[in-house]
Structure 1
């Protein structure tokens, strides 16, 4: 069996224009965004690893290992030609030259197979050390050829207690599990939960629940209604999960107080035009609450002859989907006239329930007449027909 001998290879320097990506290079395609990020890194710290290649018959150098670096060098120089003054190796590029084709092919295969990124725990700690040394996020991102968003997330992990990163490094927890620990604000609880989850395959949600057993989601209807700004202005504690774009609130009693106060304020505004406005802290009004009440309906309006003709014109245009914004506004005004409104007489005997729906928005029921106001509503002809034949509150109480 013939054994191929791979000869030692010297490093030589070549002008950037003399280099190209060889067909032997297994990485023929490259993500443009990744090349841009690597170009940022090269512009920041220069080339710290030489390229490898072979000289062709025309004296040009085909790069068999380092194709991404070659593309990034070209991008960095294209963006800022002065970068070669700070980093001369980007103009006169160091290349280890293979003595023969066998060596070149071996290099191409070896680098591709042996290529390995930093382990997550090592990368996280590297970012943390740079930050502690005074580097900002932008500098760290350019140095490592990563996006700033990626660096922000890694720095959130760098703030975790050392035992969590040690467990990540040792493979006792996954990267996803480590991310879940960033929601904790209690180091003692963090270490307690860490001891319980090491070596177990748990979801991020399970770990977050263990770390924040009493937390309230930022999407809770009370939080949506009150608003996070108002909650924090009142001294409420919360933290945002950088990895899942969620928020957790940690002062349930404060949130409840703010929720009820705002709900009562809104109900008071609504109650200014109705006889009563009752508040419910539930997300809906049960049927049993209103089954003995009668609904009050708007008094429909009438259009003038000219308005009716205009309404027909606008409605036809709307059906043809050719109505402009001014026309839509005019049509809405005419529809509002037809829909009518509640009269002062109706408002004097009817009321509404005010509550907050599951989506955090204020809700107001249709106006209702309670059994206690039914006699007055009948007398003023707010209730007529079948509604007027129902028993009043006093009659209900006196019935056998």
Structure 2
């Protein structure tokens, strides 16, 4: 090659000192050229450079030179990196950290300058990213090789130049329920959706939400929806019910606690998984508090509602009693009435104890409601509307028939309210709404005739239905 050192063979892998390499403007990757260089540097430091660079002889028009060559010094023997720019920058990072010598030997494929852009495009275009599920599994295998404990996670993080939290997240994703992990492999769900499902470790809970999302007709497996569903079926360790029972008491009773991951702004909190157990423990703790609280509040006794504050689920009303709702009462209950009522308590909003959220009372006898034949009333109202409509039409015709006017053949009575302009289905015509101002007396004068016509049409319609039913019965009899 005329423009490079003769010792380097074109088209073959050559070992070139790192300090004779530079980035090239001919590399087609112009965005994110330094993305994640630190972690790549750690990977190279741990395992060495596993893939060669592709270079061309340097030229002052395309080589992104360092300051030592900007003063007009010779470019002879220098090479531009057209494929492997991130690997080159990672090697430079190791030199800057004094972990590699400046002249560290680098395996490079030497190309001719005319093929530079094509080679760079080919390398970037045909690079297929690893399926996320395969990445998670690889992290799991590597960590288990180190021992599967916190120290092993730290060693893995260091070797790959990532944070401990990053490795822990990959391990959590690797432990997803198999059905969900398989859905990720098949691209049936996104990586963000998988992270949402991995917010908790419980496979049964993951699958319960997953199956429900599969049936959703609107944006199934949406990460926000998945996180919301998981939160509804677990409790934060900071929840008032958990504070009321005590996390230690819950764990001592066999309750499970999981570290929350990938749950957005809530952070990596602990979550209580066994909701039924924590509610049972809360009811047991609240039971001896009910009678003293009810007595102090002036009630006959007290019941416990599972949940927190006004959002708690009320227990079933005692026989002969109903929930007291002030909106439906004429006046506030007296002390005598409260002494016959049963208070309802729930865990207080701060979790420090229980708080009254309402009470059950014995309702006063109500006068019997007048029975209504709603179907008959509906039919009567529909008939009245039809008569009014027909009377209005007849009154409009009394002013003067459309016959012989420019409106003949163009006037129609709308079935329902129509907009000022409504396009017809034939796409060539449009209906234009026009209002006619009539005296109410003229309309009332047509009510008797309108009523006769409506009733006459109803009788004809019933006769038509009866004839159709008879015809259907005869047909079925013949077929039998």
Mapping of 1:1-400 within 5 angstroms? 9-27=11-29, 30=32, 34-56=36-58, 57-81=75-99, 83=100, 91-99=104-112, 101-134=113-146, 136-182=152-198, 183=200, 185-186=202-203, 190=207, 193=210, 197=214, 201-204=220-223, 215-244=234-263, 245=268, 247-256=270-279, 258-259=281-282, 283=309, 357-358=348-349, 360=351
Relative distance call for 1:106 and 1:32 in structure 2 (3 A) is closer
What's the secondary structure of 1:133's corresponding residue?
Answer: helix
Name the TM-score, length of structure 1 as normaliser: 0.57
Relative distance call for 1:266 and 1:33 in structure 2 (3 A) is farther
Name the TM-score, length of structure 2 as normaliser: 0.48
User: Match for residue 301 of structure 1?
Assistant: none
Q: Kindly provide the CA deviation profile for residues 235-257 of structure 1, in whole angstroms up to 9, marking residues without a partner as x.
A: 32232332214544233454246
Relative distance call for 1:79 and 1:8 in structure 2 (3 A) is closer
What's the secondary structure of 1:58's corresponding residue?
Answer: coil
Q: Kindly provide the CA deviation profile for residues 178-225 of structure 1, in whole angstroms up to 9, marking residues without a partner as x.
A: 334433534698399569839983334655787898534445321244
Q: Kindly provide the CA deviation profile for residues 371-397 of structure 1, in whole angstroms up to 9, marking residues without a partner as x.
A: xxxxxxxxxxxxxxxxxxxxxxxxxxx
Q: Contact 1:50 / 1:95 at 8 angstroms: preserved in 2? A: yes
1:18 CA displacement: 1.2
Unaligned runs of 5+ in 1: 1-6, 294-353, 366-400
1:127 CA displacement: 1.2
User: Match for residue 378 of structure 1?
Assistant: none
* CA–CA separation in structure 2 for the residues paired with 1:121 and 1:198: 24
What's the secondary structure of 1:239's corresponding residue?
Answer: strand
Q: Contact 2:83 / 2:123 at 8 angstroms: preserved in 1? A: yes
Q: CA RMSD in A?
A: 4.6
Moved more, 132-141 or 41-50: 132-141
1:357 CA displacement: 4.5
Tell which has more relative contact order, 1 or 2 (C-alpha 8 A, sep 6+): 1
User: Match for residue 310 of structure 1?
Assistant: none
Q: Contact 1:9 / 1:96 at 8 angstroms: preserved in 2? A: yes
What's the secondary structure of 1:152's corresponding residue?
Answer: helix
Q: Kindly provide the CA deviation profile for residues 157-196 of structure 1, in whole angstroms up to 9, marking residues without a partner as x.
A: 2123444333321223332343344335346983995698
Q: Contact 2:309 / 2:355 at 8 angstroms: preserved in 1? A: no
Q: Contact 2:181 / 2:194 at 8 angstroms: preserved in 1? A: yes
Relative distance call for 1:220 and 1:192 in structure 2 (3 A) is closer
1:59 CA displacement: 1.7
Q: Contact 1:52 / 1:64 at 8 angstroms: preserved in 2? A: yes
* CA–CA separation in structure 2 for the residues paired with 1:222 and 1:276: 23
What's the secondary structure of 2:22's corresponding residue?
Answer: strand
Q: Kindly provide the CA deviation profile for residues 123-155 of structure 1, in whole angstroms up to 9, marking residues without a partner as x.
A: 112112212322622343344444332221111
1:91 CA displacement: 0.9
Aligned length in residues: 289
Q: Kindly provide the CA deviation profile for residues 272-321 of structure 1, in whole angstroms up to 9, marking residues without a partner as x.
A: xxx96899876269997x9879xxxxxxxxxxxxxxxxxxxxxxxxxxxx
What's the secondary structure of 1:70's corresponding residue?
Answer: helix
Relative distance call for 1:180 and 1:192 in structure 2 (3 A) is closer
Moved more, 219-228 or 67-76: 219-228
Q: Contact 1:164 / 1:194 at 8 angstroms: preserved in 2? A: no
* CA–CA separation in structure 2 for the residues paired with 1:74 and 1:231: 54
Q: Contact 2:133 / 2:184 at 8 angstroms: preserved in 1? A: yes
Moved more, 237-246 or 176-185: 176-185
Relative distance call for 1:93 and 1:210 in structure 2 (3 A) is same
